[in-house]
Structure 1
Amino acid sequence: MLVLCSHLFDATGTHTLLETLIHRWCSHPGVHKALQGVGGGVRFPRESNRLIELPEDYSTLINQASNFLCPRSGGDKSRAPTLCLVCGCLLCSQSYCCQTEVGGEDVGACTAHTFTCGAGMGLFLRVRESQVLFVAGKTKGCFYPPPYLDDYGETDQGLKRGNPLHLCAERYRKIERLWRQHGIAEVIGHAQEANQTLVAIDWQHL
């Protein structure tokens, strides 16, 4: 290997050696197949990761969540069904029934899910509250305006007004850009600086 490297960087022998290597690589059968599209070669550019597709009508999500059963409570319906926006998994959030141990500490379903789905970073939609939840690790998080609006262009966090809600593609793309550009942690930091009550929330139990 050392001999090969010395030849590669030797001005007197570089031309001949590289020419031989290039000729061998180009004449390899695997290269010919890849250039002809045979054998499932890697294609570039690679498509960027995306968040899951959400239904246009929010009532579709409500119906889906109403049929979601807690996986650990013997068939009872979940009190706080929460949708992972990265993989589409429905979780039983903010409930002791689905707590699990991560790093020697009991954490909620959403926090545990972030370590298997997003390397400790999570984006969730709390369906019954129409509220987006950002989580970073076990101790940091914040709430974020949902991508669903009523006919007046307003959100209805907590579903208190009861107006029909529809997906705002622009708002959802903004959330997706934050996720793609690794901006979730920054949003959480700014939110907790502006609102100290967020710091006191036990995010690990969600």
Structure 2
Amino acid sequence: MEYAQGFKKQMNKRIHLLLCFLLQVNLVLSFPAIHCQDFSGVSLGTGDLHLFHLVTMAHIIQILLTSSTEENGMDQENTSSEEEVAVLTLYKFLCQCTGSALKEISSGWHLWKNLKAGIMPFLRCSALFFHYLNGVPAPSEMEVSGTNQFEHLCSYLSLPNNLTCLFQENSDIMNTLIESWCSNNEVKRYLEGKRHAISYARESNKLIDLPDDYSCLINQASNFSCPKSGGDKSRAPTLCLVCGTMLCSQSYCCQTELEGEDVGACTAHTYTCGSGVGIFLRVRECQVLFLAGKTKGCFYPPPYLDDYGETDQGLRRGNPLHLCKERFKKIQKLWQQHSITEEIGHAQEANQTLVGIDWQHL
């Protein structure tokens, strides 16, 4: 029984690490797309650092809420360091936010030891991530495991050795965030012993599921009416592959004003659905459309093939089409890796006629 409980705690810690690290990767990689809509003057590097600090603080709260505070056999030092006092203060604030759910302790020594041990895997993963993202070489001291590796990781990642300083520097914002985290119903249920810390890992985002038979999409498009023309059938029904919304594309009736310029339904939809980047399927043309901003776009081969393994863009041959999972997986990979804009650039370099198309009207 004790072995099973210990194994469960270790698995929960690993899942916490994985989820926090995946959250950090997703935030950092998606930040440039969000940043393109913001003109506040904050650089991408500064934004990455703020995001990293935020996720680090969230992981610290996870560790303090889920780690055991019982003595682990190590001899406690007589003097309390600055880190121990600070982490004990933070823990007492968590006790206030959670009521009587957390066990009260009077010494921060074990808290600090648990925090350092729990945060180390996350710091190692983060150091590798930012090393390959930014190309900043790691100091040679980090390659040697030892008691000072924590300090070297903090220095490389621009973190203070006393991690609780992050909370002190952002106390107004973080106090509100901590209170909201602790008031979450699932957190309360965990602290009351009514559920496990993590029941399953979060699935990665993906595009919508497409039917195997293309005629299903044709039937769906034939039943689609333009939302702004009194029930008339849309001439160019276009399906958003991110959220599944059917749009009336390439039509004046559904044009909207965006930043002082008239744009089509698809272009306007990208700014609400994909922060300026969109993937669409033009149903009656059997053609995939990539859009990035108001001036960049390209056409991409559809994931539907006939019995001869060929696409039928424009539906000229009329052969039955079926979903090719490998082709759709390739499109999904482009979207998940934020490579749509790059793919558009390659397509426009290879075909200069794409540059002259008014993509904003689609």
Which bracket does the TM-score occupy, shorter chain normalised? 0.7 to 0.9
The match for 2:80 among 1, 4, 13 is 13
1:67 is the counterpart of 2:209: no
Higher helix share: 2
Q: TM-score, normalised by structure 2?
A: 0.50
Closer, same or farther: CA 65–41 of 1 in aligned 2, 3 Å: farther
- Partners of 2:264 and 2:88 in 1: CA distance: 60
Q: Which residue of 1 aligns with 2:251?
A: 95
Any stretches of 5+ residues in structure 1 without a counterpart?
1-11
AA partner of residue 13 (structure 1): S
1:110 is the counterpart of 2:177: no
* DSSP 3-state at the match of 1:199: helix
Shift of residue 202 of structure 1?
0.2
CA RMSD of aligned residues (A): 2.5
AA partner of residue 249 (structure 2): S
AA partner of residue 230 (structure 2): G
1:128 is the counterpart of 2:195: no
What's the CA shift string for 1:85-124, capped at 9, x where partnerless? 0000000000111000000000000000000000000000
- Partners of 2:212 and 2:269 in 1: CA distance: 26
Any stretches of 5+ residues in structure 2 without a counterpart?
1-78, 102-181
Q: Which residue of 1 aligns with 2:333?
A: 177
* DSSP 3-state at the match of 2:205: coil
- Partners of 2:340 and 2:236 in 1: CA distance: 22
Query: Share of identical aligned residues, percent?
Result: 71
Q: Which residue of 1 aligns with 2:238?
A: 82
Shift of residue 45 of structure 1?
3.5
- Partners of 1:19 and 1:81 in 2: CA distance: 57
Q: Which residue of 1 aligns with 2:70?
A: none
1:52 is the counterpart of 2:208: yes
Higher strand share: 1
Shift of residue 17 of structure 1?
2.7
* DSSP 3-state at the match of 2:209: coil
What's the CA shift string for 1:7-62, capped at 9, x where partnerless? xxxxx522753674587558951667426454x97766421111000000000000
Task: Tell me the matched-pair count.
Answer: 195
> Which structure has the larger Rg over C-alpha atoms?
2
Q: Which residue of 2 aligns with 1:160?
A: 316
Shift of residue 155 of structure 1?
0.5
Moved over 3 A (4+): 18-28, 30-33, 35-38, 40-45
What's the CA shift string for 1:167-204, capped at 9, x where partnerless? 01111111011001000000000000000000000000
- Partners of 1:21 and 1:117 in 2: CA distance: 42
Shift of residue 74 of structure 1?
1.1
